[in-house]
Structures are given as structure tokens and as C-alpha cells.
Amino acid sequence: MSNKSLLRINNLQAGVEGRAILKGINLEINAGEVHAIMGPNGSGKSTLASVIAGREGYEILGGEIEFRGEDLMDMEADERAHLGLFLAFQYPVEIPGVNTTYFLKSAINETRKARGEKELDAVEFLKFIKSKAKLLDLPEDFLKRSLNVGFSGGEKKRNEIFQMAALEPVMAVLDETDSGLDIDALKVVANGVNQLRGPESAQLVITHYQRLLDYIVPDVVHVLHDGRIIKTGPKELAHELEDKGYDWVIKEAEQPA
């Protein structure tokens, strides 16, 4: 059960328009683990998340990504989702006219269909999402509203976690889901994530702040800088980064070995 590798990234290099952003990422996440990635602005955290999730428009210059033993590179974003991958966006997209309930029903049932499971009917579906919505303390009417439209920053982030809870992914990547949240909302979000924790699943949490990691306690902390993971350590590393910033890690990494 433990040490079962869920995500294996090997020497991943990616960029846009000829410019390298990820310059050789190595990362292995096992079932049951929570990893955190921290790093300065522009270091490539969101790019890594996007490449894992299957966003088009990035040139893959080299390396591999394997998820649950399957090569992700040739898979579309929706196929990756069906395999159990979820990305909570740093900036969730507003989609006018697409009703949240309608969208979620399609997302859940398409996923179930792809997995060979029976689709939920209207009654089952409503019962299911109402129970998930309760967890996230979202505004009453949000299920009836257009996806993310008119949501505050915090509501959007909670909506991401709500969708995650509803889709029950094997592996969730959270890109700065904590930014813009007050402490109560932060607890709600952390609770949502912790509910998913288990021996068969894993989470990759991208954040700038230790504060989230007080609630979602990571097993491993990585520092990403200029497209490379320059340091990996235990959860205490996050405290150290919060206190001392990144400069010392960057200096340390630049020392010739």
C-alpha cells in the first residue's frame, strides 16, 4: 500500500514559444502522501500544475509524466481527469451561462461513464452534490448560478474545492487555493482536502504560505526556483522558508557541489 507511486515526473522540461520555463523537474509522489511546492513568483509552479493537468499551448521539450502507471503526455485534459487527476486553478475561470449544477452533472457523469460506472440520475446527483456542498459552506444559490460568475475570490476557491470533493480525485493538485481566503475559509478548504486524504490518494499543494500547511500537513516540501526543484525537505522546511524567505535556499543551490 505505501510506497505505491502515483505520480512520477522525470526530467520534465517545458516552455512556451521557445522559452524554457520548466528546466528538468523530478518529482515522485506516492499514494497516501501530501506534497507541498513552494517557490518565488514566476518560478514555474503554475506551469508545472498546468502541464500535469494537460493544458494545451505548452511545448514539452523533454521528460516524462506518469500517473497511476500511465503515460500522461498523450492524454487530453479530460482523459487525465477521468484517470483521477484534479487541478484546482489559481485563477478559476468564469463561464457565463453555464449553470454550475448542469456543468457538475456533466463532469461527474462523463467521468463515471469513462470509468465504466453507472451515470447518476437527477435525483441521485442532487442528493450527492448537496451533501458535498454542505462541506464547503458555499452561498445558498451558487448551484443555480453560472460557473464562478460574480463569485468573490474566496467563493471561487471554495467552489474549486467543492468540485474536487464532488469528483473525488485520486490526486488533487491545488494551485494557491489558499490565497485570498480568510482563516475560516482556509479551514473549510483544508477540511475539504483532508477528507480526500487516504492511503490510496495523494495531494500536491502549491502555496506561498505556511499557514495552509498548518491545516493540510505535508509529508514533503519542495522548493521550486527557475524551473527546477532546488530543495526537498520535511514539513519543517516550510516553516524555515516562511521565516527566512527563499534567498538562502537559492544561494545554497547555486553553490557548486
Partner 1 sequence: MTETVQIEESDSWLEAFEALEHAEKDSPTWLIPFRKAGLAQYAKTGLPTLRDEDWRFTNIDPIRKTAFRPTFAPAILEAAVLDGIPYPFKTGNAARLVFLDGHFQKDLSDMSKLPQNVTSISMRDAVAREDLRLDQHLGQYTYHHDNPFAALNAAFFQDGFYLNIPKNLQIETPLHIIHLSSGNDAQASFARFFIRAGEFSKCTILESHHALSEGIYLNAPTTEFVVENEANIEHIKIQDESKQAFHIASVYAQVGRAAQFRSHYLDMGGRISRNNIRTKLNGEGLECVLNGLYLADGDQLSDNHMIVDHSKPHCDSHEYFNGILDDKARGVFHGRILVQQIAQKTDAKQTNKNLLLSDDATADTKPQLEIYADDVKCTHGATIGQLDDEAIYYLRTRGVPKAVAQRMLVHAFAGEIIDRIHHNVIREELDEMVWTRLEKFAHFQNVTTT
Ligand X SMILES: Nc1ncnc2c1ncn2[C@@H]1O[C@H](COP(=O)(O)OP(=O)(O)OP(=O)(O)O)[C@@H](O)[C@H]1O
254 contacts: CB under 8 Å, gap ≥ 6: none
Residue 20 or 149 with smaller CB distance to ligand X: 20
Binding mask 40-59 for Mg ion (x = CB under 5 A): -----xx-------------
**Contact positions with ligand X (CB under 6 A) in 80-139:** 90
Q: Is position 167 an interface residue for partner 1 (rule: CB under 8 A)?
A: yes
Please identify, among the stretches 67-75, 89-97, 98-106, 224-232, the one whose residues bind Mg ion according to the rule CB under 5 A: 89-97
CA 233 to chain centre: 20
Instruction: Name the one range near partner 1 by CB under 8 A: 29-37, 80-88, 118-126, 129-137.
Output: 80-88
Binding to partner 1 (CB under 8 A): which residues in 135-164?
A: 146, 163
Q: Which three cell numbers stand for residue 75?
A: 492524454
Alpha carbon dihedral 190, 50, 200, 9, in 10-degree steps, equals -130
The answer to whether residue 46 forms part of the interface with ligand X (CB under 6 A) is: yes
Residue from 41, 96, 243, 256 in contact with ligand X (CB under 6 A): 41
Q: Which of 235, 234, 226, 233 is nearest to 254 (CA)?
A: 226
**Strands of 59-67's sheet in order across:** 19-30, 5-16, 59-67, 70-71
Please give the grid coordinates belonging to residue 137.
459552506
Q: Say how many C-beta atoms besides its own lie within 10 A of residue 168's C-beta.
A: 15
What single-letter DSSP state applies at residue 35? E
Indicate which single residue of 6, 9, 34, 43 sits in contact with ligand X (rule: CB under 6 A): 43
Residue 54 lies near ligand X (rule: CB under 6 A)? no
83-122: contacts with partner 1 (CB under 8 A): 86-87, 89, 92-93, 95-98, 102-104, 106-108, 110-111, 114
- For 121, the grid coordinates are 440520475
Distance (Å, whole) CA 177 – CA 210: 13
* One-letter identity of residue 222: H
81 is an interface residue for partner 1 by CB under 8 A: yes
| Only segment of 6-14, 39-47, 59-67, 109-117 that touches Mg ion (CB under 5 A) | 39-47
The answer to whether 190 touches 165, Cβ cutoff 8 Å, is: no
116, 121, 123, 128: CA torsion to nearest 10: 20
Residue closer to partner 1 by CB (options 110, 242) is 110
Residues of the shown chain interacting with partner 1 in the complex, contacts defined by CB under 8 A: 53-56, 76-82, 86-87, 89, 92-93, 95-98, 102-104, 106-108, 110-111, 114, 146, 163, 167
Residues of the shown chain interacting with ligand X in the complex, contacts defined by CB under 6 A: 16, 21, 39, 41-47, 57, 90
Residues of the shown chain interacting with Mg ion in the complex, contacts defined by CB under 5 A: 45-46, 90
